[in-house]
Structure 1
Amino acid sequence: MENLPLARATVDPDAVARTRPGLVTDLAADPGTRVVLVRQGRVATKDGALDLRAPADVTGATWDPERLAYLGRDESGRYLALTLPETLGEERDLDGVPVQEDAALVSLVEGLEFSHLRDVGDVLPDRDAGLATTAVSLAAWHARHPRCPRCGEVTEVIDAGWVRRCTADRSLHYPRTDPAVIMAVTDAEDRILLGHAAHWPDRRFSTLAGYVEPGESVETAVRREVAEEVGIAVGQVEFVASQPWPFPASLMLGFRARVADGAAAEVRVDGVEISAARFFTRAALGEAVQEREVLLPTRSSIALALIEDWFGGSLR
């Protein structure tokens, strides 16, 4: 399984350059730099690609290190992510005009389209998929970690957006990634097990998934999650592929898993995380999708890739 939607990065991350003093300032002043705009977890897009801007085009932007991250370089130039304030444009006067100093930036943003990676991750070109995934990941990390986990004091951004340093104890903190397993479970009849999470819309079904806990291998996590969520014992576990899932900070590790030999394939949902689950034959799933009795995950997800890998073709 190759070319998963959010695992197609082509840009050189150029990590050795991140510690160079003045790098971000230089990038913001370089007309060849291209800026990825991030707003509320979404990226600016146009015609199925990122809507990249030169720094001079981002009128009204304040090049605050807290909102910037160096994404890397390729033969076309260097890339910078700019995360816009969450409340940009919300405060207005009686005439409806933005009262913030960044009114010019508000005007620019109102003319842009911002898209969620879940919706466009599969259609973005390879370069753009990698840039967008990294930009969204870093924006989420910065938003969630403004203070030092050791002492609670404010942290500052260094190394071109890739490190936060405590202003009190000087400890360094790096972007985190939470490993999660996601698995296509099949039984002796080669039926696939799909579940419905309690918080999902009606008819939405997908593969089971869960986070890897401290002290366990990913294979153990697969078996534990399946047992906890649907009461089924898993035997063979085979790694397939992985992709980042920055919502906010996961790395999805995809597996094929088989119901253990001799174990009953009787589904007993936990009723908390999973409210319904069942096994499907290929014919039954194909018909259910066609009749819209079952709604599958978006094409950006590894879940759909695992399901279609088992099915042997496209289901959407």
Structure 2
Amino acid sequence: MTGIRQTRIVARPILDRCHADRDDAEANRARWKNPEARLLLVDPHDEVVMVDGRLAAVPTAGERDDQRDLFVGVVEGVPWFARRTEQSRPEACSLRTVDLGPTDRELVMSALAALAWHESNPACPRCGKPTRITSGGPARICPHGHRVFPRTDPAIIAAVLDAQDRIVLARQHSWPADRRSVVAGFVEAGEPAEHALVREVAEETTLTITSARYVGSQSWPFPRSLMFGYVARAAGTINVGHDELAEADFFSRDEVSDQVESGQLQLPPTLSIARALIDAWLARRLPEPESGFDLSSPLR
């Protein structure tokens, strides 16, 4: 697998979200005044500055604006805040293209998700009045005291394998000709994730999922998804003669490795769970789908 970088999924939480006092104004003021406190600046295009492969943040200074400077959490005693800037910076880079370690990954995902949610929810859904960010930023509140909490869009994403252990890699119509990823789709209202897995794979490829095992989840704050990752076994023949996908095929491990090495194949960014699933499959680290749910019949 020369030339393929292995990615990582954060497991045990690194970020302390300070649930007990994250909305305590005095506690947050003390965190902001901490000499070690850091402020992550995110530009209008969700880009950040990186230095030597790490997130570059600035020290907190002056008085905190609790409507702009969101408290993200504490990592090893260091308080972290995030702010959306109005101007782009030439040295900033897209988070979709960088490789981040577990700490930076958890920080930036949390910061982006919070910023995106606050920016898209300026009014109370109950009374329509403008809302303000609470002191720590985990919620918004309107003049009538109604609290509004963040919403997340659940989605499934799966390493779909055939009987020969080949993986399905697909391309959307808007992607370059060499870009491929695993199958994914949103969970509909009232739908269990396993049902969404069966439905989405069938809609996009006409394959029938027979078994699946949950692997892990990842926040994908572009703008507010939560991806539930699976490894699944499928039967049937791929057919993408519809609007869902431009193309999809089964690939062996040797085919993926060789095509990535030659530049014929572009995999998802290392920040994504899509890449983590592909990397784990390449390294034979995914569990067998048959060790999870049998989806050939309804769940009981």
Same fold? TM cut 0.5: yes
Q: Structure 1 residue 273 and structure 2 residue 244: aligned?
A: yes
1:78 alignment counterpart: 79
Give the Å deviation of 1:154.
1.2
Give the Å deviation of 1:82.
2.0
Q: Structure 1 residue 249 and structure 2 residue 224: aligned?
A: yes
2:100 alignment counterpart: 123
Residues 132 and 142 in structure 2, CA contact (< 8 A), matched pair in contact too: yes
TM-score, with length taken from structure 2: 0.84
Residues 194 and 277 in structure 1, CA contact (< 8 A), matched pair in contact too: yes
Q: Distance in 1 between matches of 2:253 and 2:55?
A: 36
Three-state SS of the structure 1 residue aligned to 2:104 is helix
2:277 alignment counterpart: 306
Give the Å deviation of 1:32.
3.1
1:12 alignment counterpart: 16
2:295 alignment counterpart: none
Number of residues of Structure 1 aligned to a counterpart in Structure 2: 279
Q: Structure 1 residue 234 and structure 2 residue 233: aligned?
A: no
Q: Structure 1 residue 114 and structure 2 residue 92: aligned?
A: yes
1:146 alignment counterpart: 122
C-alpha RMSD over aligned residues: 2.5
The one-letter code matched in structure 2 to 1:143 is E
The one-letter code matched in structure 1 to 2:238 is V
TM-score, with length taken from structure 1: 0.80
Structure with the greater alpha carbon radius of gyration: 1
Three-state SS of the structure 2 residue aligned to 1:80 is strand
The one-letter code matched in structure 2 to 1:49 is R
Q: Structure 1 residue 42 and structure 2 residue 18: aligned?
A: no
1:91 alignment counterpart: none
Q: Distance in 1 between matches of 2:55 and 2:234?
A: 42
The one-letter code matched in structure 2 to 1:69 is L
Structure 2 CA distance for partners of 1:285 and 1:11, relative to 1, 3 Å: closer
Q: Distance in 1 between matches of 2:63 and 2:152?
A: 29
The one-letter code matched in structure 2 to 1:115 is C
Residues 153 and 186 in structure 2, CA contact (< 8 A), matched pair in contact too: yes
Give the Å deviation of 1:195.
0.8
Q: Structure 1 residue 197 and structure 2 residue 172: aligned?
A: yes
Three-state SS of the structure 1 residue aligned to 2:194 is helix
Q: Distance in 2 between matches of 1:268 and 1:44?
A: 42
Alignment deviations for residues 239-276 of structure 1 (CA, whole Å, 9 cap, x no partner): 1122211111111111111114xxx2x11215323111
Residues 240 and 246 in structure 2, CA contact (< 8 A), matched pair in contact too: yes
Residues 181 and 252 in structure 1, CA contact (< 8 A), matched pair in contact too: yes
Q: Distance in 1 between matches of 2:104 and 2:266?
A: 27
Q: Distance in 2 between matches of 1:313 and 1:174?
A: 40
2:291 alignment counterpart: none
**By percentage of residues, which structure has more helix?**
1
2:254 alignment counterpart: 283
Give the Å deviation of 1:298.
1.1
Q: Distance in 1 between matches of 2:149 and 2:231?
A: 31
Structure 2 CA distance for partners of 1:293 and 1:313, relative to 1, 3 Å: farther
Give the Å deviation of 1:23.
3.9
Q: Structure 1 residue 186 and structure 2 residue 154: aligned?
A: no
Residues 34 and 79 in structure 2, CA contact (< 8 A), matched pair in contact too: no
Structure 2 unmatched runs, 5+: 1-5, 286-300
Q: Distance in 2 between matches of 1:296 and 1:3?
A: 12
